Chain A
Amino acid sequence: MSETFLGMGGIQWALFGAGTAAILGGIGSAIGITSASTVISGVLSEDDTKFGQLLPLAAMPGTQGIYGFIVAVLVMVFFNIMGGDVQMPVGAGLAIFFACLPTGFLGLVTAIYQGRTSAAAAGIVAAGKRAPALVFPALVETYAIFALIVTILMLLGLQQGFAG
């Protein structure tokens, strides 16, 4: 195999993967939090006693950004990128890149949908219903967590292979 693929070496592909996970998760979280927060701000402008119940709904889409950040840090730690002078075959770099994609893409999508679910769930709180509104956005969170687990398992496997 050549030393580069599409002009990038192994380390560049690994960093591209880490960056993709962090960027897509961050974008998704920013959109999701904004979607939820606009509705929640409207509710609070009329009834500020519900702040405690609404804050978790606004915060929940933020977790995907955190997952992306975790993955980016793990890539740098597992493969000693911060140590400098790392040599990595392009195949290994590409494998790391693909391992980062589940968290990146699922983070983007689930954060956006979770924001919408949180916005809708804010209506339950606003209406003064006793149903646990947090459950529904939490269901969306499940799939972001699955993606994170898949990425971590793949990175662990690659780390062992890389070290071996």
Chain B
Amino acid sequence: MSVLLDEYRHTRDGMRYGFAVGKVRVLATRLLDRSALERLVDAPSYAEQKRILSETPYGRFLEHANTAADVDEALDRSLDSVYAFLAEAGLPEAVQRFFRVRFDYTNLKGALKADALGVTVDDLLVDHGTVPREAFRGPLSKLPERYSALAREIEQGLDEADGETSLMAIDVAIDRALYAELREIAVAARSRFLQDLAARLSDVANLKSIVRARNAGLTAAAMTEMIVDGGSMSSRDLAALYRLPHQDMLAGLERRLGLKGSPLVDAHGMSDLDVIVDNVIVETIRRAKRAEPGPEDVIAYVRARESEVQVLRVALLGKMAGLDSETLHRRMRASFL
């Protein structure tokens, strides 16, 4: 019976994701390959980088970009097509939401922080969410029920905190809600892969939290407040690791997350950690890829495009800021496809 169910699932996935996978098979051939990215990093100037990119899909976005702000905006615009692809490809709504919902939470976080600090929210809002960014400029009670209820709940909790504590409380509450929703979406999508990915995303979020907590000198109890549910390591496991000496803690995290080598021990600062985290997700997606159509290919492609834009941002802005090639190479993410 389970064999028949598996067969049914494969056939269903083939029909549900086939069109999107077909598109991805072509679009993936247009991604920048490793050698092109390396040429960008090794280019002597931003002008040369622009010349290299002129014959790629990024050329039209960067045509008039001459300052760091222009480049940032141009790369943001290039991401629009990636998220538009999710809708065009006819993916199930749950899968589209899996990608876009984090931008809603980023905007909700921005709106709550702006409110707590008494500043304008405009600079903190991003595009690409399921709710237009403009919605977060107005009263939060006008947002979809899920977000307005969460905002009310967080604001009530903030009455007891202030300053830095309140900002951190916002971060923690939003992160928890985000990862909980990702898990819900993955279950609703009936995709084992999305469920595994949601768990892995929780793991890497916790990895970042534990390292940040250590850098900030927080106690184990304070650190566990920052932990999100759904990962492969419980709060208790993480607290036990947190009480170890720093190097032992990092080595323990590497073991638990199955990282090859000792990237955490060798990391220099949070920017290296971001790269390690990205590479963990790359590895998760790469392991899940298979010949038959399924959400894995589409997710791998979208993550590849996001990663590509991130690498371009580092390479272009880094070059503008005068960073040397070696530093830029270290900040390069692994390739997805």
Contact = CB atoms under 8 A, between A and B. Distances in A.
Given A119-B292, A120-B291, A120-B292, A42 B25 contact: yes
Interface residues of A, number: 24
A41 interface: yes
B25 A41 contact: no
B292 A116 contact: yes
A115 B25 contact: no
Interface in B1-57: 7, 10-11, 14-15, 18-29
Given A116-B14, A119-B14, A120-B292, A38 B25 contact: no
B25 A122 contact: yes
A31 interface: yes
A42 B29 contact: no
Contact of A45 (B7, B22, B28): B22
Nearest to A44: B22
A43 interface: yes
Contact of B293 (A31, A39, A44, A47): A39
A40 B22 contact: yes
Given A119-B292, A120-B291, A42 B19 contact: yes
Interface string A41-60: 11111110000000000000
A42 B15 contact: no
Nearest to A123: B25
Contacts of B28: 127
B7 to A, nearest CB: 8
Given A43-B26, A127-B29, A116 B10 contact: yes
Interface string B95-117: 00000000000000000000000
Interface in A1-39: 31, 34-35, 37-39
A122 B291 CA distance: 11
B86 to A, nearest CB: 13
Contacts of A128: 29
B15 A126 contact: no
Nearest to A116: B292
Contacts of A122: 22, 25
B222 to A, nearest CB: 49
Contacts of B26: 42-43, 46-47, 126
A46 B19 CA distance: 11
B22 A43 contact: yes
Main secondary structure of the interface of B (DSSP, over half): helix
Main secondary structure of the interface of A (DSSP, over half): helix
Contact of B25 (A35, A43, A112): A43
Contacts of B10: 116
Contacts of A37: 18
Nearest to B23: A42
Given A119-B292, A120-B291, A128-B29, A46 B23 contact: yes
B11 A42 contact: no
A47 B24 CA distance: 11
Most A-side CB within 10 Å, residue of B11, B89, B293:
B293
A112 B11 contact: yes
Contacts of B25: 39, 42-43, 122-123, 126-127
Contacts of A42: 18-26, 89
Interface string A98-139: 000000000000001001100110110011100000000000
Contacts of B29: 126-128
A122 B26 CA distance: 10
Contacts of A39: 14, 18-19, 21-22, 25, 293
B27 to A, nearest CB: 6
Most A-side CB within 10 Å, residue of B7, B10, B24, B25:
B25
A9 B70 CA distance: 81
Contact of A38 (B7, B18, B24, B27): B18
Contacts of A34: 15
Contacts of B21: 39, 42, 119
Interface in B111-138: none
A42 B90 CA distance: 10
Nearest to B88: A45
Instruction: List 4 tightest A-B contacts by C-beta distance, closest first.
Output: A42-B22, A38-B18, A126-B25, A46-B26
Interface of A: 31, 34-35, 37-47, 112, 115-116, 119-120, 122-123, 126-128
Interface of B: 7, 10-11, 14-15, 18-29, 89, 291-293
13 contacts: A34-B15, A35-B11, A35-B14, A35-B15, A38-B18, A39-B14, A39-B18, A39-B21, A41-B18, A41-B19, A42-B20, A42-B89, A46-B22
